[in-house]
A and B are shown apart, each in its own frame.
Chain A
């Protein structure tokens, strides 16, 4: 992994449906980006560490992403899983400026 962080322009805010997520691959890193009904935009790893579920297809429960495969949940801010024995996922800082979404990774 490179030690330097990159700020990468991702998409427009309108590309992100309200209350849902979308999958991106930034360089070699697959991520899932969500826009909550409350207006928060956040990015996490694309894949559930349990059985590889595509998190971007998951539903949101407040600030948690629910994996579509077996309903393991991960928190938007910490990446922590609600289930014992499942490791947390990485989170990536996101900025929205004038409708442009950028992610840092």
Chain B
């Protein structure tokens, strides 16, 4: 249909293909064209509104809740466009199309075309409610929206999401992680009105209310009220009631971006009209994605849009000139706020003659429903337990007759349900494994047979597992089934990325060659240079060579260069040591005076029982340290941080032993010890464990009878792990000694940035106890010697205040005047 010069022997004529829109449809179309025919006859130009490459919009809520960095959700970085000879006008909005001259205009760019594709997507619908322009009112659609919401949410107390559809609930989930009370407001009588019926909506509501979200349905919003400074403060409803809202996120549906097409005279209804060839009214102009209406339907999910791009790519490249798109049957599996959900067809649309098959288990928030019309499944939703979802979806998609005993839809013809012994080998090849990217088992198996034996390489080859990632376990299982084993990525075992050696081999090589500086190691053994490798090598070499280590300051992160923690405004945080969290009136007065003298913006008590002075300028650091006259608390680096203690037997009526004295002694002994990751200690004076010793890297708990229990490998941060018991000892001195051995063994054997909570289970507590307590390797004497050597090498880094280690170490911006003209 696109006339191309394909005469054999003649080079094909280059055609100009312009795609307006760089979202999930536009970019996918380009990918599909490249995949369909690497020698395709087009010079491709893409216009994108946002100044980025394209990203996976499905994962935006992860960006909002902080589980994924914006960097991780990009599908095609800007470089991908260049590598594939695709011209991308990022951040340029197409403003006009002249179909007679066949030219697209955008912000000073004129791009002529032979073939034009509209992939302009859609935009959030902002209902005409007064107050949508107040500060703190957001829509939720782009990466910038996420960033803006996250930044604004800091310190706020309450958030209201307008719209209880899929996207609204995703936004609510993201907001929960920002420590605000979240209310979801839905105009309809139940949540997710498109995918669920009333009973299902109520089940979902109960489940998410248990997570602490307030849900308000059948609620009509009258206005967003602002405070005196123009910032939103409440949502006001039609009945006059109010809900407090420091943030409002509007997620009230989307509207197709059809204006550009309409303005150049193309037929539009709710969206740009296209036929089964995805052509608009103009034979040179096509449309895909959320901006088009096909057979009366506008799609807003990714799967049908990808069917469209595939058909259009096949047509444009003539790899299948007859390819058509005849519409999609919508079946989706989702996870909303931890609730698993499958939905197909229109569940609310029940005719009097339909058979409705339901199963409910209210105790577990399980709800299954299928609508059977003329003997076939035409709609359904499953919530809470997706056991039979694949079966029901398969009846729906294939339109095959539903089983005569309708209960077999959910429970199979016998005991045949997908349980723990479900076999991957029995899975049919056309069974979809990756629901985000529509990848079937057969495709994945082919890739594995072609030699892709890591989850990452299968992902690269097939895209499976590169969306939400929830099918990675299945991919891993398939690799095991086909290949026998999953190959580990070899670089996973390396100590740092730039040197292809694991830690023991690296240590051996460094010792043999006598490499005492980071630059020497990189020069002799490295394959590149990056900041993580430099940091990791610096830490390792310092532990290895002690005083012989050649300390190159450019191998250190800024915090380790100026011995303070950099903050988001370029200033630093200063935390002096406060041994065991015990201080004195004189020290407190001194800290207070310093805070006044340097106009410290915030004085904060830390979680590790000490005092943080925040907002110190770089050139004030030496003065602050001098005036404090206290040693560095090492709060900025991978080293021994704090030893948290309870008051213990000195004051506490329950205390059985002197926990503060042991804590202070531990901190004085091991201050300045550097490790592959930070190390926090805790000492509790009785099993009530007020110093939270069971979630520390090393914890000590006093027991009735005067003994100390030594615990290792705990954590209570992003990762929570209870410690394992290493041993019990009778005296304070024994406790200090055994902890020193553990610390050195950890320092010398852990991978870079491996916390003890990973290290201890990796080695195994039995094995560790053998090595450290029972001396099974005969290295305890060496460990003790290493403790002494390291302790002897300790110098307070804050003494560099009088003797900077390099030019400009503690200097801020130097101002240089422009010469007189």
Whether A associates with B in a native complex is yes
Residues of chain A touching chain B, judged by Cβ–Cβ distance below 8 Å, are 4, 6-11, 14-20, 22-27, 30, 37, 46, 51-54, 57-62, 66, 68-71, 83-85, 87
Which partner residue on chain A sits nearest B818 by CB separation?
Answer: A27
- Residues from 780 to 821 in B contacting A, C-beta threshold 8 Å: 806-809, 811-819, 821
Please determine whether B818 and A54 come into contact, CB atoms closer than 8 angstroms: no
Which partner residue on chain A sits nearest B144 by CB separation?
Answer: A85
> With A20-B553, A23-B813 as given contacts, are A85 and B818 in contact (CB-CB < 8 Å)?
no
Note all chain B residues with C-beta closer than 8 A to A54.
566, 570
Proximity bits, B113-132, A CB within 8 Å = 1, else 0 = 00000000000000000000
What are 9 A-B interface contacts by the 8 Å CB criterion?
A: A15-B808, A17-B807, A25-B813, A25-B815, A37-B519, A58-B558, A59-B557, A62-B529, A71-B531
| Contact partner, B553, options A10, A19, A22, Cβ 8 Å | A19
Which partner residue on chain A sits nearest B78 by CB separation?
Answer: A84
Please determine whether A85 and B816 come into contact, CB atoms closer than 8 angstroms: no
Please determine whether A23 and B534 come into contact, CB atoms closer than 8 angstroms: no
Question: How far, in whole Å, are A79 and B720 apart by their CA atoms in the complex?
Answer: 41
Interface centre among B50, B71, B821, by most A CB within 10 Å?
Answer: B71
Q: Could you tell me how many residues of chain B have their Cβ less than 8 Å away from some Cβ of chain A?
A: 45
Which partner residue on chain B sits nearest A54 by CB separation?
Answer: B570
> With A57-B566, A61-B529 as given contacts, are A19 and B552 in contact (CB-CB < 8 Å)?
yes
Please determine whether B566 and A68 come into contact, CB atoms closer than 8 angstroms: yes
- Residues from 89 to 119 in B contacting A, C-beta threshold 8 Å: none
Question: How far, in whole Å, are A16 and B814 apart by their CA atoms in the complex?
Answer: 12
How close is B743's CB to chain A, nearest CB, in angstroms?
A: 27
Check: B627 CB closer than 8 A to any chain A CB.
no
Note all chain A residues with C-beta closer than 8 A to B806.
17-18, 20
Note all chain B residues with C-beta closer than 8 A to A18.
552, 554, 806
Which partner residue on chain B sits nearest A13 by CB separation?
Answer: B807
Please determine whether B529 and A85 come into contact, CB atoms closer than 8 angstroms: no
| Contact partner, A85, options B74, B811, B813, B817, Cβ 8 Å | B74
Check: B568 CB closer than 8 A to any chain A CB.
yes
| Contact partner, B77, options A7, A14, A20, A84, Cβ 8 Å | A84
> With A26-B818, A57-B558 as given contacts, are A87 and B51 in contact (CB-CB < 8 Å)?
yes
Note all chain A residues with C-beta closer than 8 A to B816.
8-11, 24-27
How close is B165's CB to chain A, nearest CB, in angstroms?
A: 27
Note all chain B residues with C-beta closer than 8 A to A6.
818-819, 821
Note all chain A residues with C-beta closer than 8 A to B812.
23
Proximity bits, B631-660, A CB within 8 Å = 1, else 0 = 000000000000000000000000000000
Please determine whether A22 and B808 come into contact, CB atoms closer than 8 angstroms: yes
How close is A58's CB to chain B, nearest CB, in angstroms?
A: 7
Please determine whether A61 and B530 come into contact, CB atoms closer than 8 angstroms: yes
Please determine whether A66 and B531 come into contact, CB atoms closer than 8 angstroms: yes
A-B contact count (CB 8 A): 115
Which partner residue on chain A sits nearest B80 by CB separation?
Answer: A84
Check: B321 CB closer than 8 A to any chain A CB.
no
How close is B144's CB to chain A, nearest CB, in angstroms?
A: 10
Please determine whether A22 and B811 come into contact, CB atoms closer than 8 angstroms: yes
Note all chain A residues with C-beta closer than 8 A to B555.
19
Please determine whether A17 and B554 come into contact, CB atoms closer than 8 angstroms: yes
Question: How far, in whole Å, are A62 and B527 apart by their CA atoms in the complex?
Answer: 11
Check: B264 CB closer than 8 A to any chain A CB.
no
Check: B706 CB closer than 8 A to any chain A CB.
no
Check: B598 CB closer than 8 A to any chain A CB.
no
* 3 cross-chain pairs, A with B, having the tightest CB-CB distances, nearest first: A19-B554, A85-B52, A84-B77
| Contact partner, B53, options A10, A19, A53, A85, Cβ 8 Å | A85
Note all chain B residues with C-beta closer than 8 A to A14.
807
| Contact partner, A62, options B55, B77, B528, Cβ 8 Å | B528
> With A17-B553, A69-B568 as given contacts, are A4 and B529 in contact (CB-CB < 8 Å)?
no
Which partner residue on chain B sits nearest A30 by CB separation?
Answer: B813
Question: How far, in whole Å, are A62 and B69 apart by their CA atoms in the complex?
Answer: 24
Which partner residue on chain B sits nearest A46 by CB separation?
Answer: B813
Question: How far, in whole Å, are A83 and B78 apart by their CA atoms in the complex?
Answer: 8
> With A25-B816, A26-B816 as given contacts, are A84 and B74 in contact (CB-CB < 8 Å)?
yes
Which partner residue on chain B sits nearest A57 by CB separation?
Answer: B558
Question: How far, in whole Å, are A66 and B802 apart by their CA atoms in the complex?
Answer: 29
Which partner residue on chain A sits nearest B558 by CB separation?
Answer: A57
Question: How far, in whole Å, are A62 and B554 apart by their CA atoms in the complex?
Answer: 12
How close is B532's CB to chain A, nearest CB, in angstroms?
A: 8
> With A58-B558, A71-B531 as given contacts, are A27 and B813 in contact (CB-CB < 8 Å)?
no
> With A57-B566, A85-B52 as given contacts, are A27 and B143 in contact (CB-CB < 8 Å)?
no
Please determine whether A84 and B76 come into contact, CB atoms closer than 8 angstroms: yes
How close is A36's CB to chain B, nearest CB, in angstroms?
A: 9
Which partner residue on chain B sits nearest A7 by CB separation?
Answer: B819
Question: Apart from A4-B821, A68-B557, A84-B52, what are 11 other A-B pairs with CB-CB below 8 Å?
Answer: A15-B807, A17-B553, A27-B817, A37-B519, A54-B570, A60-B531, A61-B530, A69-B568, A70-B69, A84-B76, A84-B79
How close is B521's CB to chain A, nearest CB, in angstroms?
A: 13
Check: B459 CB closer than 8 A to any chain A CB.
no
Note all chain B residues with C-beta closer than 8 A to A25.
813-816
Which partner residue on chain B sits nearest A27 by CB separation?
Answer: B818
How close is B240's CB to chain A, nearest CB, in angstroms?
A: 42
Question: How far, in whole Å, are A6 and B806 apart by their CA atoms in the complex?
Answer: 29
Note all chain A residues with C-beta closer than 8 A to B500.
none
Check: B546 CB closer than 8 A to any chain A CB.
no
Note all chain B residues with C-beta closer than 8 A to A10.
816
> With A8-B818, A19-B552, A25-B814 as given contacts, are A85 and B557 in contact (CB-CB < 8 Å)?
no
Note all chain A residues with C-beta closer than 8 A to B477.
none
Which partner residue on chain B sits nearest A19 by CB separation?
Answer: B554
Question: How far, in whole Å, are A25 and B813 apart by their CA atoms in the complex?
Answer: 6
- Residues from 564 to 608 in B contacting A, C-beta threshold 8 Å: 566, 568, 570
Check: B70 CB closer than 8 A to any chain A CB.
yes
Question: How far, in whole Å, are A54 and B821 apart by their CA atoms in the complex?
Answer: 30
How close is B190's CB to chain A, nearest CB, in angstroms?
A: 38
Question: How far, in whole Å, are A84 and B27 apart by their CA atoms in the complex?
Answer: 14
> With A17-B807, A37-B519, A85-B51 as given contacts, are A60 and B558 in contact (CB-CB < 8 Å)?
no
Question: How far, in whole Å, are A87 and B52 apart by their CA atoms in the complex?
Answer: 9
Question: How far, in whole Å, are A62 and B70 apart by their CA atoms in the complex?
Answer: 25
Question: How far, in whole Å, are A8 and B69 apart by their CA atoms in the complex?
Answer: 40
Question: How far, in whole Å, are A12 and B808 apart by their CA atoms in the complex?
Answer: 12
How close is B623's CB to chain A, nearest CB, in angstroms?
A: 19
Note all chain A residues with C-beta closer than 8 A to B556.
59
Proximity bits, B532-561, A CB within 8 Å = 1, else 0 = 001000000000000000001111111001
Note all chain B residues with C-beta closer than 8 A to A24.
813-816
- Residues from 39 to 93 in B contacting A, C-beta threshold 8 Å: 50-53, 55, 69-71, 74, 76-79
Question: How far, in whole Å, are A98 and B609 apart by their CA atoms in the complex?
Answer: 53
Which partner residue on chain A sits nearest B531 by CB separation?
Answer: A59
How close is A60's CB to chain B, nearest CB, in angstroms?
A: 7
Which partner residue on chain A sits nearest B562 by CB separation?
Answer: A57
Which partner residue on chain B sits nearest A25 by CB separation?
Answer: B815
Note all chain B residues with C-beta closer than 8 A to A62.
528-530
Please determine whether A22 and B558 come into contact, CB atoms closer than 8 angstroms: no
Which partner residue on chain A sits nearest B805 by CB separation?
Answer: A17
Question: How far, in whole Å, are A27 and B143 apart by their CA atoms in the complex?
Answer: 35
How close is B550's CB to chain A, nearest CB, in angstroms?
A: 13
Note all chain A residues with C-beta closer than 8 A to B530.
61-62, 66
How close is A71's CB to chain B, nearest CB, in angstroms?
A: 7
How close is B498's CB to chain A, nearest CB, in angstroms?
A: 9
Question: How far, in whole Å, are A11 and B816 apart by their CA atoms in the complex?
Answer: 9
Interface centre among A9, A51, A68, by most B CB within 10 Å?
Answer: A68
Note all chain B residues with C-beta closer than 8 A to A27.
816-818
Question: How far, in whole Å, are A9 and B806 apart by their CA atoms in the complex?
Answer: 21
Note all chain A residues with C-beta closer than 8 A to B558.
57-59, 68
Question: How far, in whole Å, are A16 and B173 apart by their CA atoms in the complex?
Answer: 48
Proximity bits, B317-339, A CB within 8 Å = 1, else 0 = 00000000000000000000000
